[in-house]
Amino acid sequence: MRAALAVVLSLAAATAAADERDIQRALIERDQQSAEFAAGARRGELETLHQKQLLESTISPLPADHLRVRMAQDRELLLRRALPLPGRPAVSLDPIPLKGFGD
């Protein structure tokens, strides 16, 4: 009788853990969708980052709350970078020298 009860309880716990993983994954995906919508011009960059993060979240041993915080920080770093100027790559831009009085 006790063995049957233990088996039933362990199955219920396994089901609850699987449900929790699904809920956390849905929360992560919802955060990512909101960020992509708000990003506008940066949507493509965010989609690439989010695909990498979703893959990482399935294999990471870290708690889901910690992962969500770290993912949000990574997203903020990506969005704070300056957008490149249209027309040519940013690495080949020539700085405009400043001129002082009397030059």
pLDDT confidence tier of residue 41, bands split at 50, 70 and 90: low
Q: What is the pTM of this model?
A: 0.47
What is the H or E stretch that residue 57 is in?
A: helix 43-59
Distance, C-alpha 61 to centroid of its chain: 16
pLDDT at 85: 64
Helical packing angle, 2-39 and 43-59, nearest 10°: 170
Q: Which two tokens stand for residue 97?
A: 């020298």
Torsion angle, alpha carbons of 57, 68, 81, 89, to 10: 20
Confidence of residue 69 (pLDDT cuts 50, 70, 90): confident
Half-sphere exposure of 3 (CA within 13 A, CB side): 0
Q: Rounded mean pLDDT of the chain?
A: 75
